[in-house]
Amino acid sequence: MSTRTKKHESGCLVAHAVDLLGDRWTLLLLRDMMLYGKQTYGEFLAAGEGIATNVLAERLQHLEAAGIVTRTRDPDNRRSNLYRLTEKGLGLAPALLEIIRWSGGQRRLTAARRKLIDRIEHDRDGLLAEIRARCQSGVTGK
């Protein structure tokens, strides 16, 4: 996937979403930002998914070019960048939670994952407010 958004001639809305989000790494980066407050390149690399550095750099550039994340210099470490969700990016939270909820119904769950599914099913609005507050405040998952 390149840093520029692909164009589907059909105008299909599903095809448009797939162009923006349709790979494993993009969705996992969004998960890390929304649920775990990750903001730095190093935090994304340490997530345990095994993303290659070149793929991570490309996906972050893609998300920035699409207006889903912003990149700013870390005031505590001027050699590092912080990646944060924009309003457009935060708008994806309900869809990501629904994907998580659906996926949870397809497999056996750990206690922590069951707790997340229960929260999505019984306190979706509270969880979305928590995600928004975390992302807007810049609290990291460190």
Q: From CA 15, how far away is CA 37, in angstroms rounded?
A: 28
Domain 13-137 falls in which CATH fold? Arc Repressor Mutant, subunit A (1.10.10)
pLDDT of residue 1: 43
The widest CA-to-CA distance across the chain, in whole angstroms, is 46
Can you give the pTM of this predicted structure?
0.84
Helix (H) or strand (E) holding 44: helix 41-45
C-alpha distances (whole Å) from 128 to each of 28, 34, 54, 95, 131 are 17, 9, 31, 11, 5
pLDDT of residue 9: 66
**Per-domain boundaries in the chain:** 13-137
pLDDT of residue 103: 92
Average pLDDT, 10 consecutive residues per value, the chain (142 residues): 55 85 90 94 91 95 95 91 96 95 90 94 96 79 44
Q: Using CA atoms of 113, 117, 119, 122 in order, give the dihedral in degrees to the nearest 10.
A: -160
